[in-house]
Chain A
Amino acid sequence: MELWLVLGMPLLGTFVLAILGARRYAPEVNVGVSLATLLAASLLVVRIIRNGPLLIGHEQFFVDPFNVFLVALTAFVGLTTAIFSRPYMRIEEHHGRLTARRLRLYHSMYQLFMFAMLLALLTNNMGLVWVAMEAATLSTVLLVSLYRTKASLEAAWKYFILCGVGIAQALFGTILLYFAAERTLGRQGMTALLWTHLNAAKADLEPTVMGLAFVFLLVGYGTKVGLAPLHNWLPDAHAEGPTPVSAVLSGLLLNVALYAVIRCKVLAVGSIGPMMPGRMLMAFGLLSAVLAAFFLWRQRDIKRLFGYSSIEHMGIITFAFGLGGPVANFAALLHMTVHSLTKSSIFFTAGHASQTAGTQQMDGIRGLVGISPTIGWGLILGSLAILGMPPFGVFASEFLILTTAMREHPWTTPFLLIALGVAFAGIFMKVQPMAFGESEAPKLPHSPALLPVFIHLAMVLVLGLYIPPALAEWYRAAARLIG
């Protein structure tokens, strides 16, 4: 029941906002729908905590600790982003960058995007995962190109082609998976692609086929995660889309894509052993983290900067999943959570910062603390958090990842440390002049909704100091599941 609500609310929202999206109260409707989704998601969480994993809808939907935690996170960040986007998009309209019709598209697609992500998370069918991921791509392509400027069209085009091709490979991987499954599970129509069935029979899946399937799935969904060298769409799309979209792309879509990768990894490990998939994930992760860290140094655009930072963090998370084992998986899940929260809050502040300064170029953004202390301090705190300063949660997860890496694969620690160090310097030296210094930029026409920023950062802080036992147990269950 809760599950239908979770999926139904955003779907309903898509249609309602497709009609009402241009109205003055559309942002409020958007927030309302997101709130309803979050409430439904919390009910679902409560139910899962109480009753354990859930399998419904002819086994087509499956909820376990791993995905329910991502569902909750997705619904939550979806809500806060909706709250943030209310004044943000009004300011954009005020500045003449958007019309009411575009806003209708925006609101409707926002909800469709939420729906697609939630569907990808909740479905038990690997085929449906693919369909949902493709739908998520399509809806975000429209969102990225919302401004219809040259740059945004270019970004959207690249995003579409690269992710489209990537996802086509994932489809081939899915076909191979189906092929492998059919041999062991028999041709049972719908059930052969069900993850639960595959998981139960993973030891019997043909290793050669699974190896190939995993490569295709990894490259396919890995493109969406933003793993180097498949990441090229990511900075463009993050920089050119509207800020709320950057926030959800970075905070949610990457997670969802990684979720798909991990689900596939579990199957692959069961069939061909942990060596190959683990090594691949570690290699991709390290490469992404190191490359992105170096790219950070070259950035001039604030949202592009944090786009690269997302690649870096996704790299770290992927690396941690590649390490495997309860501690690394726990850390990776924690890092997923805190990265979503922190990165989305950074995008919130970065969005308002560039609105205030009238440019996304960091050279033009100065003295934020002076103009608007909340934006300035939000940006500083967010950056410190994302850089892994204690006591924020990012530190906790990175610390765990580092210690595990040092114990199990000591040769990886230098790379990780280089990535972290270079990224630290890169971001720090860019953020500081933006926050301090002098500026005479005018005030914004609508007061920004920065409450989400501080709520997110507070949560990240709490997660860094102390993970509530219930949550930790939940993470641990998910980590065990991933193996």
Chain B
Amino acid sequence: MKRLLAYSSIENIGLIFTGIGLSILFAASNLHLFAALALAAALIHALNHSLFKSMLFLATGSVLHATRQRSLGKLGGLIRSMPWVAALALIGTLAIAGLPPLNGFVSEWLLLQSFLYTPQLPHAFINMLIPLGAAALALTVALAAYVMVKFYGVIFLGKPRETLLAQAHDANWLERIGLAWLAAGCIAIGVQPQLALDAAGKSTGMLVGQTIAPNPSVWRIAPIAPEQASYSGWIFLAVILCTIAVTFLLVRLLAHGRIRRTAPWDCGYPWQTSRMQDTAEGFGQPIRHMFGAFFRMERELPAPTDLTPKYRVHIEDRFWRALYQPIAAAVKRLADAISFLQGGRLAIYLLFSFLTLLGLLVFVL
């Protein structure tokens, strides 16, 4: 559970660095306005990330506390026993999945906006590569949404996978408040991103000498120019809520509100148990299937005749092995190679100092 969130942190840090990198590129080409935009996106995303990530960590903490269960595969259906945590965690989940009108969307939107202006960079080659970067970004964000649906769905929705879970108690007041103010932050920045933009504008003003274009109104943000792109969290929230309310009223007025509780339909299959739901692994199966090339997978699938069917899958990241491990090993080797510099002998240290002095003296001569 926490592992998933930790990986998600890496993803978000990646997004932040994407923004910073773009900003440096823009700044180096003297496109200060766009540099400011990309930087603001990165900064706001950092803020947002701290908000929703700490919120989700707290929420998993509450779940852990209530259920003593760390594994995603043994949770489920907590929305019924822990409605408060579930409701607040939903906000965090939607925010981290980058959905409007919450805060995660705002920063990702700004980041995509700054990607749009890359064609103005004076390097034709980079220009052609960067749109692919934007696509990768979109893919990442959408994939994050996928994973967060899995995260939320497996923990809070469905049927409890263990019988004990039904007795899980909801968070106490203190925990609720802790979660609630973070959720409030997510919503506030989502619908009123001007707050964050103004704050970020100060930093960008300091760093790239340019703030983002002043906002046309308090109701929406338009980082470059209102004709080019704008976004209003207020309208999003307001219209959706109004429509929901109006529709609800109309449905109530025009149709009857009768409800019959029955067993789940599930295409008429009556013998379902909680074990028939997707597990976290099951939910992620399409991704494993599609990105199979990137992983090293060992699978043990049950044969149709097995009396005790067993399913096991072990996944290893190929990139980890092929890319990061060699780099890490190289860094380690280099670090070992230079360790003689700190060999413990004072005489050698003095010699370094001596040689440095002589070298510099030769240099100035």
Contacts and interface: CB of A to CB of B under 8 A. Distances in A.
Interface of A: 157-158, 161-162, 165-166, 169, 211-212, 214-216, 218-219, 223, 228-230, 232-233, 235, 276, 280, 291, 294-295, 297-298, 389-391, 396, 399-400, 402-403, 406-407, 422, 425-426, 464-467, 472
B353 A230 contact: yes
B46 interface: yes
A276 B338 CA distance: 27
A170 to B, nearest CB: 11
Interface stretch (B75-83, B168-176, B275-283, B356-364): B356-364
B319 interface: no
Interface in B317-365: 328, 331-332, 334-336, 338-339, 341-342, 346, 349-350, 352-353, 356-357, 360-361, 363-364
A437 to B, nearest CB: 12
Given A295-B335, A467-B206, A230 B16 contact: no
B28 A406 contact: yes
Given A291-B338, A390-B43, A219 B27 contact: no
Contact of A298 (B47, B203, B207, B335): B335
A165 B47 CA distance: 47
A374 B336 CA distance: 35
A298 B13 CA distance: 25
A205 B353 CA distance: 27
A398 B202 CA distance: 17
Contacts of A211: 364
B203 to A, nearest CB: 5
A215 B332 contact: no
Nearest to B336: A298
Interface residues of B, number: 40
Given A157-B346, A161-B346, A165-B350, A215 B202 contact: no
Nearest to A304: B342
B320 to A, nearest CB: 13
B352 A389 contact: no
A232 B206 contact: no
B364 A162 contact: no
A257 to B, nearest CB: 15
B70 to A, nearest CB: 12
Nearest to A468: B202
B46 A219 contact: no
Contacts of A422: 331
B221 interface: no
B342 to A, nearest CB: 6
Contacts of A162: 346, 349-350, 353
A399 B20 contact: yes
Contact of A294 (B202, B338, B350): B338
A472 B47 contact: no
B203 A464 contact: yes
B28 A291 contact: no
Of the candidates B13, B42, B342, B361, the one having the most CB atoms from chain A within 10 angstroms of its own CB is B342
Contacts of B342: 232, 235, 295
Contact of A158 (B23, B328, B346): B346
A162 B342 CA distance: 13
Given A162-B346, A169-B357, A391-B46, A294 B331 contact: yes
Contact of B335 (A276, A294, A403, A465): A294
Interface in B27-41: 27-28, 39
B199 interface: yes
Nearest to B25: A406
Given A280-B360, A294-B331, A403-B28, 18 more contacts: A165-B353, A218-B360, A223-B353, A232-B349, A291-B338, A294-B334, A389-B13, A390-B43, A391-B43, A391-B47, A396-B206, A396-B207, A399-B20, A399-B23, A407-B27, A426-B331, A464-B203, A465-B43
Nearest to A280: B360
Given A232-B342, A391-B46, A215 B203 contact: no
A425 B328 contact: yes
Nearest to A169: B357
B208 interface: yes
19 contacts: A162-B353, A165-B353, A169-B357, A215-B357, A215-B361, A219-B356, A219-B360, A223-B353, A232-B342, A280-B363, A291-B341, A294-B334, A294-B338, A297-B331, A390-B43, A390-B46, A391-B203, A396-B206, A406-B28
Nearest to A276: B364
A390 B16 CA distance: 8
Given A162-B346, A295-B338, A465-B202, A230 B28 contact: no
Nearest to B209: A327
A166 B350 CA distance: 9
Interface of B: 13, 16, 20, 23-24, 27-28, 39, 42-43, 46-47, 199-200, 202-203, 206-208, 328, 331-332, 334-336, 338-339, 341-342, 346, 349-350, 352-353, 356-357, 360-361, 363-364
Nearest to B19: A390
A161 to B, nearest CB: 6
A466 B206 contact: yes
Nearest to B324: A425
A233 B357 contact: no
Contacts of B203: 391, 396, 464-466
Contacts of B27: 403, 406-407
Q: Which 9 A-B pairs have the closest CB atoms?
A: A232-B349, A211-B364, A466-B202, A297-B335, A229-B352, A390-B46, A215-B360, A294-B335, A403-B27
A467 B331 CA distance: 36
A235 to B, nearest CB: 7
Contacts of A391: 43, 46-47, 203
A399 B21 CA distance: 10
User: Which of B202, B342, B353 counts the most chain A CB atoms within 10 A?
Assistant: B353
Contacts of B352: 229-230, 232
Contacts of B24: 399, 402-403, 406
Contacts of A466: 199, 202-203, 206
Nearest to B28: A406
A394 B28 CA distance: 20
B206 A215 contact: no
Contacts of A390: 16, 20, 42-43, 46
B339 A298 contact: yes
Contact of B207 (A228, A280, A400): A400
Given A465-B199, A466-B203, A230 B356 contact: yes
A390 B23 CA distance: 13
A391 B19 CA distance: 13
A55 B350 CA distance: 39
B183 to A, nearest CB: 20
